[in-house]
Structure 1
Amino acid sequence: MISGLCSFRESRVLWVCTGVLGLTLAVAVLSMTVGAVTLSVADVFNALGGGKNEFIVMQYRGPRVVVAMLAGGSLAVAGVFLQGALRNPLASPDVVGVTKWAGLGAFLVSVSTPPSWAVWAIPIGVIVGSLSGCLMLFAIGRLLAGGIAGFALAGVALGLFAHALVQYVMVLFPSRADQSMVWLAGSVYGSTSSDVIALSCWVIACLPLIFVGTKHLDAGGFSNETLISIGLSPTLLRGGLVVVSVLLCAGSVASVGSIGFLGLLAPHAARLLVGSRPAALVTTSALLGALILTTADLLGRIVALPNEIPAGIVAAVIGGPYLIFLLFREAKSD
């Protein structure tokens, strides 16, 4: 009976992942049909094979879609690890302010260094900003010793503070204000092949850490006393999960800016679909994150033609009400 149940779960995970991947690829193809020059689905496939519109698809629309998929998957996995490390279902990089602090770090670096340094300086700024946001959140959480809702509100407050700092820097450097909009709203507009290569290399470099983090994800739900009793260091375990989350978040923010609520939506949806087993949860969350961000980008491009709404705003419109729903649900369960 147990083996049959395990087989059923594995089959369900396989079907869910296959279905989500298929939907993601379908949305990706549809995204490549939208633009100043409207293409048909047949035109897109023809271009992917080296046909007439190869330059449009491969140089402009294709990289945008791939970056959206990679960034969405990374933010979703970052949300899973952060929730596991903090034992908090609302602890995603966007809700607790990590992405806002990452955006602040990127913007501060962009206005204080020469443009030629951007390739290496902005990723460093993103990582430093992310870690700063996490450290402050931990410090406030220990001082307040609040519940789930209090922790989430502290993160929202830190995110708003980072947003205010960005606005202040924009006043000091008005000539750089346009550059800040990417970090504030979140958008995959203007993604290039170089962005695809950079983000792909970052994700590949993080894969060993993701595998290790997934292996220890279940242990993150134990109390500190239980972890010590089984020979694990709570500080190393939770700190390691947070570091992986920050690294994944940093790569995504450096590429597409601050995308709101994606790290919250994807893990919760994945738990509803496949449960909480680490390997299934991480894999499904990554695929759902790619689907959500790709869909948000497509919707942002078609709902206000000929204008374009950044994908981060579309994701926030969906994720904001869902966060309020979760807060009400947690408040009733306390």
Structure 2
Amino acid sequence: MRGVSKSFHARVLTDIGIDVAPGELVALTGPSGAGKTTFCRILAGLERPDAGTLLLRGQDLAAKPAGLRNIAFLFESYALYPHLTVRQNALSPLQAPNRSTGRMDLTSANRRVDEILELLEISQLDGRLPGALSGGQKQRAALARALVQTPAVFLLDEPISHLDAKLRHKLRGEIRRRLTAQPAPVIWSTPDGSEALSVGDRVVVIDGGRVEQVGVPEDIWLRPASVRVARLFGDPPMNLIPGLLKRESGALSFQRRGMNLPLPPPLAAAAVLTGSENVTLGVRPDRLRLEAIETTGAIPGEIYSNEPFGKYAIVTVDLGSLLVKVKATMAAADGAGSVGKPVGILFPDDEMTLFDGVTGATLAHSSNQSEL
């Protein structure tokens, strides 16, 4: 894609430019309404861009109709043929009369369908019509129809979003393994940041129709390019705390009501270089510690909520005008007390990110960021 833009009643995509290599799986992620589905529909030939070019293996796709692009597209809405069974839906692209690579003989086609239905755990449903399927079963039937193909490109729009958590985690790895074993480039669209990090060789983050960041999963996690990227990743995502930079006794500190936090050298140096006063401090919940309120350096607050998850708990702390989430051990969460109890939050000496308070762009990262 080069400089691709698209508008309907308003601008949906603006100057999109990415490359996807043969055999590469690129995860496309962003919030709802970011433009992910329009991105896929333009590549598939179902929408025309207002500007920009699309090249596939060096050939311009502009004049090629959707049916001749040899792209396997899994629609977010499934788009199953209602009068065909699960097996017949999966067979349909292999038996299509205008298939660019020719019809596959029925025995070979059924063998490939059997393999995919078994992978997706819907072999027992092969004789059912779509009207007799649940939402998750319909999604897997539509996914089977895409995966049986050997296309020039795979476009998967939220391929596992409606599956239960256990099956989603299992199939994520299985599907990725199958896709990356063949030469076609893959674009996997998902609003789930964790899913994007787990499946993508690279991740493209879009928000408001613009590319915010492109990088390998480690870069996206450790070095978010903006607050818009930072808030998409993590469970819970990075705490984003607006405030001001103040210089006291020659040292820079981050301040807001109830907080006065000295900045570690890497962050202080970046702040000096940019000259920005309005900033946003980013820190991941697992890097914060719950301490007694009288602990030296702790920011005072009170317990707003405590959500146990077995091995850990998510404790939300009210700092007066701000709620901050802490991912703590069960022992630390139990020791902090119940809702309404006073507690202190100890910020790390490093492993924080500073963003410009106006543009949202990253100013700097501290060293020794936590592992992905």
TM range (shorter): under 0.3
Instruction: Please tell me whether Structure 1 or Structure 2 has the larger radius of gyration of its CA atoms.
Output: 2
**Greater helix share, structure number:** 1
**Greater strand share, structure number:** 2
TM-score, length-normalised on structure 1? 0.23
TM-score, length-normalised on structure 2? 0.22
